Structure 1
Amino acid sequence: MGSWILAALCLGYGLAFVRVQKGRRLLGLIKGSTATGAACYLLGWLQVFFAFPSHACPDFLEMRPTVHVDPYEDSVFPLQATCYWDNGEQKELVSSWINPLLFTCMAATLTGCLVMLAALTYRRYRQEHTR
C-alpha cells in the first residue's frame, strides 16, 4: 500500500492553504502543515478502518502445511493495521509514508506555533517597555 501519488496529493492539498503574504508566512506554514497532517491522518484512518482482515489477510490454504492468520493488530495513533501469519510473515495495511508525514506535520505545526508565540511575546514586551 505504498502509493506515493497519494502522498503528493496530501502535500498539494496542504500547499493550497499556504498564502505567502508579507508578515504572514509563518501563519501560512502553520495552516498548510495542519491541513496536510489532517488529510494524512484521515487517509490513514480510512486505511485502518476499511482494512478487513478476512479480505486483506487471507489464510494460505494452498500451502503445506496450511498457514493461518495469527493475530490482527490495529491502532489509530500511530496509524497501524498489521496481519501476522503462523509462519512469521507479516503485512502492513497502512501506507508506509502516512506516519512519517503525519509526525513531520505535527512537528512543523508545533514548532511554528512556538515561534509565533515567542515573536508575539517579544513584540508585546517591547511595546510595554518602550513607552
Structure 2
Amino acid sequence: MDSWFLAVFFVGFGLPFVRVQKGRRLLGLMKASTATGTLCCLLGWWQVVFAFPDQACPDFDYMRPVVHFDRYESGVFPPWATCYWDDGQQKELVSGWVNPLLFTCTAVLTGCLVTLTVVAYRRCRNGQTR
C-alpha cells in the first residue's frame, strides 16, 4: 500500500469540487480538501483496523539468530501502526503518504476558513450584505 497512485487518485477525486467561478473558489477548495482529507483519513483508519499483527509482523525464522516479533503499536489520529521486533527492526503498516496528505488537507481547509472569516468580517464592517 505504499504506492503514490492512491494519493494521486484521491487528489484527483477532490479536484472536481474546485470551481473556477469567481467568488466560489474558496468554497470549492474547502470542499476539495474536505473530500480528499476524509478519504485519506478513512484509508489510514482502514489500514490500522485491518493490520493484523500476526500476519503483518511475522517472526523471521530463517535469520540466525532467529528474530521474534516483540510488540505492535497503533493509533487512529493520525493513523499509524508499527510492528517492532526484538532486534530493533520496525515496520510501518500505514502508507507513508497518508499523514502528509491528511495534514496538508487540514492546513488548506484551515486557511480557507480563516480567509472566509476575514472576508466576512470586512464585509460586515463595511456594511455590505453580500
Q: CA RMSD in A?
A: 1.1
Alignment partners' CA distance in 1, 2:45 and 2:3: 15
Question: Percent identity, aligned pairs only?
Answer: 60
Partner of 2:94: 94
Q: Provide, for residues 61-114 of structure 1, a one-character-per-residue CA deviation record: whole Å limited to 9, x for no partner.
A: 222222111110010111101000011111001000000110010011011001
Partner of 2:114: 114
Structure 1: which 5+ runs fail to align? none
**TM-score, L = length of structure 2:** 0.94
- SS of equivalent to 1:16: helix
Alignment of 1:65-104 (within 5 A): 65-104=65-104
- Aligned residue pairs: how many? 128
Question: 1:2, CA displacement in angstroms?
Answer: 1.5
Structure 2: which 5+ runs fail to align? none
1:21 aligns with 2:15: no
Q: Which amino acid aligns with 2:53?
A: P
Alignment partners' CA distance in 1, 2:16 and 2:51: 30
Partner of 1:10: 10
Q: Which amino acid aligns with 2:118?
A: A
- SS of equivalent to 1:74: strand
Alignment partners' CA distance in 2, 1:16 and 1:70: 45
**TM-score, L = length of structure 1:** 0.94
Alignment partners' CA distance in 1, 2:16 and 2:72: 37
Q: Which amino acid aligns with 1:78?
A: P
Partner of 1:54: 54
Question: 1:46, CA displacement in angstroms?
Answer: 0.6
Alignment partners' CA distance in 1, 2:40 and 2:63: 37
Q: Which amino acid aligns with 2:77?
A: F
Q: Provide, for residues 17-37 of structure 1, a one-character-per-residue CA deviation record: whole Å limited to 9, x for no partner.
A: 112211111111111111110
Partner of 1:64: 64
